[in-house]
Amino acid sequence: MFFNSYVFIFFFFPVFLLSWIALFRTRNSRWTLLLLSSCLFYAWWDFRFLALLAYIIVINFTAGNYIYGLENQKTKKQVLIISIILSLLPLVVFKYLPWLGGYASVLLESESRVAYDSLLSSIILPLGISFFTFQALTYTIGLYNNKCSHCASIVKFSVYVSMFPQLMSGPIVRYQDLDDQLENIGDLRNKIDLKGGVELFFIGLIKKIIIADRIGMYINPIFQPGADLSATVAWLAVMGYSLQLYFDFSGYSDMAIGIGRCMGIKLPDNFRAPYTASNPSDFWRRWHISLSTWLRDYLFIPLGGSWKGNVITYRNLIITMFLAGVWHGANWTFICWGIWHGLMLCVYRATPAHIKKRMPVWFSVLLLNIAVLIGWTFFRTTSVEHAFEFFNAMLGFRYSAGAAIAWPIYFMIPLGYMIHYFERRISDKPVKLGWSYAVLLAGASAWAILELGKDAPFIYFQF
């Protein structure tokens, strides 16, 4: 089940919310309602993968009990390592085996190769697997590092891992951030914010359907391998994709956070106008915040962070961003994207302070956005060869008047960046919006609802 569907907007969520507010008012009853609703929400897509979700829950809950009960630090560490391996194993099988296994097919005879390739192609990537796996791991790692308290209830822990608002695409929420909220979930009288939650949900829906999906409709043909592109069309396509990806993913996050507000549960922000950042470090403080902080705290800092000299710091940045690329998908393009961002962070850190200070802010923002667009080119194309075809077109080396891009994109790209900048202004200095905003939101929401039913899943579902 998806947020951008009739069944969710007009049946599932209204029924759930009415039950949540009017019928289920105790802690245990709300745990049960939320757990069963989350299972139904996930099973609507494919009920078979509920077993995988249960597996991740059981592994990490059991490991947490052992870590909490043990006194020997060495044994605790062994339990943690085993739980991490067992948690990541399904991710390796479902996400990376089809890719890595494909390289082994050349070693087989023709008949065996057909059967082998058929087996690999039959592997389905479970929706949200990267997100709920990392979320469950924050509990066991946090418990080992004394960053969170022990969870004694399997029902409470199951609710934490499987909570439907952020099950599919985050935000990745740490256990310590939801522990007290789940414990006091029976008393939400002053925390439920229906007005703010519904408003944020429809803002996310508008971002997804009216902006992201429409941009995608115009630019997707341009990203077909072998397309004959001019430099102008290539740059417009990449700029369009950067906005499509942002409005699609931040739209999902807005909807998830909005649903949480309606329930009286506070979920963390996941985006803060990333394209207004002036350097790579600032970009990652604004883009996919729950993942970037996860990578910082559970990879970069354990590797040594930035306290052991520049060479070690650069190594840690490259490794961390390399693994960020691997997390996103099984393709060399994602690895190139991750390494590119690692290099961006290294170059920024190596740049002398006096040069950074002299550089105008507008120029820093422009430079950062060009670098990010280069990264998105890797991210969107289907192969490294395809990416370099695109780079050649962007540089004018394949000058052609070939593939054209639909004329509305010339208006949607500037409009998208204007909306993005407006989001930054609102977040930095909140303003009171009047009746004209309410009318605009209502009209855009009605338009978005009329556009429901099209086959346009959220982009980050594939990760």
**Spacing of C-alpha 301 from chain mean position:** 21
Phi, psi torsion values for 171, nearest 5 degrees:
-60, 150
How far is residue 406's CA from residue 403's CA, in Å, rounded to a whole number? 10
In the block, residue with structure tokens 């609802």: 449
Residue closest to 59 by CA, chosen among 81, 28, 77, 36: 81
Q: Is residue 1 in a domain?
A: no
Mean pLDDT across 295-324: 93
**175 pLDDT more than 80:** yes
Mean pLDDT across 74-98: 92
Range of the domain at 119: 26-185
Q: What's the confidence (pLDDT) of residue 97?
A: 82
What confidence tier does 49 reach under pLDDT thresholds 50, 70, 90? very high
Residues 296 and 433 in one domain: yes
Q: What's the confidence (pLDDT) of residue 58?
A: 97
In the block, residue with structure tokens 């990541």: 88
Q: What's the confidence (pLDDT) of residue 332?
A: 94
How far is residue 66's CA from residue 83's CA, in Å, rounded to a whole number? 10
Q: Is residue 211 in a domain?
A: yes
pLDDT in tens, 210-260: 999 999 999 999 998 887 888 899 999 999 999 999 999 999 999 999 999
Last residue of a domain, one of 151, 185, 219: 185
Q: What's the confidence (pLDDT) of residue 15?
A: 96
Mean pLDDT across 97-104: 71
- Choice among 288, 328, 341, 386 that is catalytic: 328
Q: Is residue 16 in a domain?
A: no
Q: Is residue 17 in a domain?
A: no
Query: In terms of DSSP H, where are the helices of 299-360?
Result: 310-328, 332-350, 353-358
Q: What share of the chain is helix, strand, coil (3-state, %, to 5)?
A: 75, 0, 25
Residues 106 and 203 in one domain: no
Q: Is residue 11 in a domain?
A: no
Q: What's the confidence (pLDDT) of residue 456?
A: 77
Positive or negative: CA dihedral 313, 318, 322, 324: positive
**454 pLDDT more than 90:** no
Q: What's the confidence (pLDDT) of residue 226?
A: 80
Q: Which residues neighbour 344 within 8 Å (Cβ) at sequence distance 6 or greater? A: 280, 371, 375
**324 pLDDT more than 80:** yes
Least confident of 145-159, 194-208, 258-272, 396-410: 396-410
Residues 171 and 201 in one domain: no
Q: Is residue 9 in a domain?
A: no
pLDDT in tens, 113-123: 666 567 666 77
Q: What's the confidence (pLDDT) of residue 266?
A: 94
Residues 108 and 151 in one domain: yes
Residues 205 and 169 in one domain: no
Residues 67 and 180 in one domain: yes
Mean pLDDT across 48-71: 95
Q: Which residues neighbour 202 within 8 Å (Cβ) at sequence distance 6 or greater? A: 258, 441, 444, 445, 448
Residues 201 and 162 in one domain: no
Q: Is residue 176 in a domain?
A: yes
How many domains are there within the chain? Answer: 2
Query: Is residue 328 annotated as a catalytic residue, yes or no?
Result: yes
Residues 128 and 222 in one domain: no
Last residue of a domain, one of 158, 185, 212: 185
Residue closest to 460 by CA, chosen among 38, 135, 128, 221: 128
**Spacing of C-alpha 229 from chain mean position:** 30
What confidence tier does 191 reach under pLDDT thresholds 50, 70, 90? confident
Q: Is residue 8 in a domain?
A: no
Residues 203 and 170 in one domain: no
Least confident of 88-92, 94-98, 388-392: 94-98
**452 pLDDT more than 70:** yes
Least confident of 61-75, 92-106, 118-132, 287-301: 92-106
What is the 8-class DSSP label of residue 72?
A: -
Last residue of a domain, one of 166, 185, 204: 185
Q: What's the confidence (pLDDT) of residue 275?
A: 96
Q: What's the confidence (pLDDT) of residue 375?
A: 97
Q: Is the preceding peptide bond at 352 cis, omega within 30 degrees of 0?
A: no
Residues 299 and 319 in one domain: yes
Average per-residue pLDDT for the chain:
90
Least confident of 15-24, 88-97, 105-114: 105-114
Residues 57 and 205 in one domain: no
Residues 172 and 315 in one domain: no
Q: What's the confidence (pLDDT) of residue 133?
A: 95
